Amino acid sequence: MNIIPTSIPDILLLEPQVFQDSRGFFLESYNQKTFTEKLEITANFVQDNHSKSEYNVLRGLHYQSIQPQGKLVRAIVGTIFDVAVDIRKNSSTFGQWVGYELSAENKRQLWIPAGFAHGFLVLSEIAEVIYKATDYYTPGGDRAILWNDPDLAIDWPLETPPILSAKDGNASTFKNAEVYE
């Protein structure tokens, strides 16, 4: 697995080794031993989530206030622009974000530890995204930060206004968000 450091040291962009021939391809998307020994990530994944979205759908920026979730994110169909925002108040990268293109073609994954808000924009006609989570979803702890918050200034690759859920369109500003201590 190729590990690509990001400007936020706790977030890693991962490129799995792909074995491809005339029949198709094979890759190992997760191996606990590799994560523990090579990446020093001891996360215990308890839930897998799968979403399908159309072009220009923006989901996020989501996080859990009660049971924070680390996520291992990948696109298995199409292409997304995946974003993580550091919302750990005592972090040296508090309020900073990173964004990377994840696609079925490049097979990259993004490791986002607990303490970050997460969102993505669909760049292809459709996209299917799968992510492993380190804690269970808790409806009472579900939170969102406004995708276009001026204090975050995320450079989303948008050509037209995105398609949002009501929750995402009415999300909290970064200044008013519940952040992690």
Looking at the annotation, which residues are catalytic?
62, 131
Give the tokens for residue 113.
Answer: 């530890």
Cβ partners under 8 Å of residue 133, min gap 6: 45, 46, 47, 48, 49, 69, 70, 71
The SS3 assignment for 34 reads helix
Taking the CB of residue 165, how many other CB atoms lie within 10 A of it?
13
Regarding beta strands 71-77 and 79-86, do their DSSP bridges make them parallel or antiparallel, or are they unpaired? unpaired
Residue type, 168: D
What is the distance, to the nearest Å, from the Cα of residue 32 to the centroid of all Cα atoms in its chain?
A: 19
CA angle at 57 for the pair 54 and 59, rounded to the nearest 5°? 125
Cβ partners under 8 Å of residue 103, min gap 6: 75, 78, 79, 80, 124
